[in-house]
Amino acid sequence: MTKSPDGDFAFTQESLKYSGAETTYAGALSFLRRKYSRDLTGVDVAITGIPLDSATTNRPGARFGPRALRAASANLAWERPYGADLHPLKELALVDYGDCFFDFGRPHTIPEAIESHIAQIITSGAAALSLGGDHFITYPILKAHHTIHGPLSLIHFDAHSDTWNDEGGEDRVDHGTMFYHATKQGLVDPARSAQVGLRTHNDDTLGFNIMDAPWVHREGPDAVAREIRRLVGNHPAYITFDIDCLDPSFAPGTGTPVCGGLSSHQALHILRHLRGINLVGMDVVEVAPAYDVGEITALAGANLAYEMLHLFAHAKAAKLA
């Protein structure tokens, strides 16, 4: 048996799977203590940060989200998610791929830089778990996935629809209009997609199936998960989780908080019960640590990302069965 390295697993571990526990308050802060690497040989999922927040309509600060999510994840890496029947860190070969580089002084080049960054990951055969950054990042990420998978089922957790009509052109870098363009361009199939937790008005649904926050509170998380599984079926699915889907009492550290949202328990329960979907990509976005309290927003986001890895472990197991 290979001896586990003595700390700083992000640099010292050899295995891409679980190597043991590391002190939660010390060491290099990769996501879930995974090895930093740009070598995607044999990798199941590459975790990568997209530190963009120039597309925000309210408070900036999500550029620091990847850093905060990595730090919060150190408290989770010593065991599997509670109640999980598979251990993602033992079932999946994972790396922290580092962050996407783009030139902030040339904003018109940023969408293409993000798309290319994700394409490098997924064309290798690995999946990408992206850590935002504001929600605009999902748009170029979907473009990269569409090239491989075709139209996707979008499982979208949010307080906002992000489908506001933008007829000014698809080159707009805005975290409130990108799913309008994604739908118009056929990147996603709204009839096979779900938007969960919405609680802001947008009369044009673009054909998305909406389970708004009152519906979730009334019907419960089990009903939400059942309906998502029914809608998505075995279609290639992409999960995007805007942390403002959670009520500000659970996630104050975000740019556009809206009262009346989901609890962290409800969100984690829904994700856990999406086992069986054909998950091909995922992200957690809009964590803005400058507005956080006791790092609870970052902790919620890291837990949600870990649950997504659990889902992906199930999806991998199903394909190998």
Residues 176-217: tens digit of each pLDDT = 789 999 999 999 999 999 999 999 999 999 999 999 999 999
**How many whole angstroms separate alpha carbon 55 and alpha carbon 306?**
26
pLDDT at residue 164, rounded to an integer = 84
**How many whole angstroms separate alpha carbon 307 and alpha carbon 14?**
24
The token pair that represents 135 in the structure block: 């929600």
pLDDT at residue 7, rounded to an integer = 81
In the chain, what are the domains? 29-320 (3.40.800.10)
pLDDT at residue 176, rounded to an integer = 79
Are 288 and 64 a contacting pair, CB within 8 Å?
A: yes
Question: Is the preceding omega at residue 253 within 30 degrees of 0, hence cis?
Answer: no
Averaged confidence pLDDT in the chain = 94
Average of per-residue pLDDT across 59-69: 97
Are 59 and 108 a contacting pair, CB within 8 Å?
A: no
pLDDT at residue 183, rounded to an integer = 95
pLDDT at residue 319, rounded to an integer = 84
Tell whether the model's pLDDT for residue 168 goes beyond 70: no
Count of all residues that appear for the chain in the document: 321
Tell whether the model's pLDDT for residue 1 goes beyond 80: no
Tell whether the model's pLDDT for residue 86 goes beyond 50: yes
CA-to-CA separations, 159 to 46, 152, 162, 190, in angstroms, rounded? 27, 21, 9, 17
pLDDT at residue 20, rounded to an integer = 83
Task: Report helix, strand or coil for 131.
Answer: strand
Are 239 and 312 a contacting pair, CB within 8 Å?
A: no
Q: Which residues of 59-89 are buried (b: 16+ CB within 10 A; e: fewer)?
A: eebbbbbbbbbbbbbbebbeebbeebebbbb
Question: pLDDT tens for residues 94-107?
Answer: 999 999 999 999 99
Is this structure's pTM higher than 0.85?
yes
The percentage of the chain sitting over the pLDDT mark of 70, rounded to a whole number, equals 97
Q: Which of 282, 283, 286 is nearest to 297 (CA)?
A: 286
Q: 221-232 and 264-272 helices cross at what angle (nearest 10)?
A: 40
Question: Which one has a higher pLDDT value, 168 or 76?
Answer: 76
Are 57 and 174 a contacting pair, CB within 8 Å?
A: yes
Question: Which one has a higher pLDDT value, 171 or 17?
Answer: 17
Average of per-residue pLDDT across 36-60: 95
Give 86's Cβ-side CA count (13 Å radius).
20
Q: Which of 237, 228, 233 is nearest to 196 (CA)?
A: 228
